[in-house]
């Protein structure tokens, strides 16, 4: 494949061959073509950025509002584990727009016996605030207004700190609360032992375990690019995002503005960072579930059993999109896939 040959030339610092292959590739790719053409355009952009050392600036310039695919999993698990609690505290380490919690607030408001008091801690950093167009308190105001309309006691605490700098004091966890923690598509942004000797990825897991949460939900891309050498990383990215772009092509029309924004901002941003950046500048460092399981176990967590309610709820949702989506339960986790390719792994811990 021409794009892989180009990547190998870039890896070997053969700029003459790389530039020639790039000129050959440009007429063959397009951000508005077939899935392979669109993905090819962003893979090529990543290679160009790697040659010019501009990957980090491109990554920081693109604005992705981080649409969450974790709504159902986080919602069902949190509802299940806190159904009889009078005081619930949810810490979301990737609060984004906060829309993933609307259904939970509405469900708790109609809980038999009356709603609990609910407190949210939404962790935010500059990147999320930049993408959203404002600080985390905007999300807090939106959720507070919803809670008031549902007549549920509610408190929101925004933490505008990078997750690498989070300490227990930022999270405010008084005794007597039932604590649920949500790690959705964010732990892969944390630098691990291969980047920083402080290993903030494992440090954060140990910190959360020390808070004795009732449940911790993990949702991550099932892709192995964290410590992989460049060419392996490039091929893994090509295979993974081929499935992503094909699934998008079936579920959303090509002129859909939301779809265009996701591809040109969120997906392009991640692809360029994975391909073009190294060291601390590469923040998109996905790991497969086996590696996450090792990290959680080392931090003292034990698996939280899956629920048939989670499975059936997500399956019924997927049926509305395409029969090529699949949901498979394996080794105590749920895998969302497109045809024969795993895309996302979801599991819970306590």
pLDDT > 90: percent of the chain: 62
What are the C-alpha distances in Å from 328 to residues 107, 192, 331? 26, 29, 10
Which of 333, 304, 81, 297 lies closest to 206 in space, CA to CA?
A: 297
Query: Partners of 345 in the beta sheet?
Result: 220, 335
Tens of pLDDT along 22-58? 999 999 999 988 999 999 999 999 999 999 999 999 9
pLDDT > 70: percent of the chain: 90
CA pair distance 304, 217, nearest whole angstrom? 9
Note the pLDDT of residue 207.
97
Mean pLDDT confidence for 164-189? 92
What are the C-alpha distances in Å from 348 to residues 73, 181, 310, 329, 338? 9, 10, 11, 13, 22
Which structural domains are found in the chain, ordered by start? 2-61+228-274 (no CATH), 71-222+285-349 (3.40.50.150)
């Amino acid at each position: 494949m021409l794009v892989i040959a180009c990547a190998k030339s870039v890896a070997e610092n053969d700029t003459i061959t790389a530039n020639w292959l790039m000129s050959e590739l440009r007429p063959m790719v397009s951000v508005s073509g077939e899935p392979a053409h669109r993905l090819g355009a962003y893979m090529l952009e990543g290679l160009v950025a790697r040659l010019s050392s501009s990957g980090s600036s491109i990554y920081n310039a693109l604005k992705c509002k981080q649409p969450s695919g974790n709504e159902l999993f986080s919602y069902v698990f949190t509802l299940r584990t806190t159904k009889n609690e009078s005081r619930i505290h949810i810490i979301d380490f990737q609060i984004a727009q906060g829309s993933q919690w609307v259904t939970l607030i509405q469900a708790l408001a109609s809980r038999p016996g009356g709603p609990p008091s609910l407190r949210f801690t939404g962790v935010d950093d500059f990147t999320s605030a930049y993408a959203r167009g404002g600080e985390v308190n905007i999300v807090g105001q939106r959720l507070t207004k919803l809670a008031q309309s549902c007549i549920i006691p509610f408190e929101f605490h925004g933490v505008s700190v990078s997750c690498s700098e989070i300490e227990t004091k930022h999270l405010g966890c008084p005794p007597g609360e039932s604590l649920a923690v949500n790690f959705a598509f964010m732990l892969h942004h944390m630098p691990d032992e291969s980047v920083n000797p402080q290993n903030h990825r494992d440090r954060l897991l140990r910190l959360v375990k020390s808070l004795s949460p009732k449940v911790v939900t993990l949702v991550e891309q099932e892709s192995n690019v964290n410590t992989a050498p460049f060419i392996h990383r490039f091929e893994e990215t090509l295979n993974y995002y081929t499935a992503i772009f094909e699934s998008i092509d079936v579920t959303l029309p090509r002129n859909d503005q939301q779809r265009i924004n996701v591809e040109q901002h969120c997906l392009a941003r991640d692809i360029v960072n994975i391909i073009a950046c190294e060291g601390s500048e590469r923040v998109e460092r996905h790991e497969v579930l086996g590696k996450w399981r090792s990290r959680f176990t080392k931090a003292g967590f034990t698996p939280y059993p899956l629920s048939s309610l989670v499975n059936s709820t997500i399956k019924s949702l997927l049926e509305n999109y395409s029969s090529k989506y699949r949901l498979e339960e394996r080794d105590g986790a749920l895998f969302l896939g497109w045809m024969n390719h795993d895309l996302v792994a979801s599991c819970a811990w306590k």
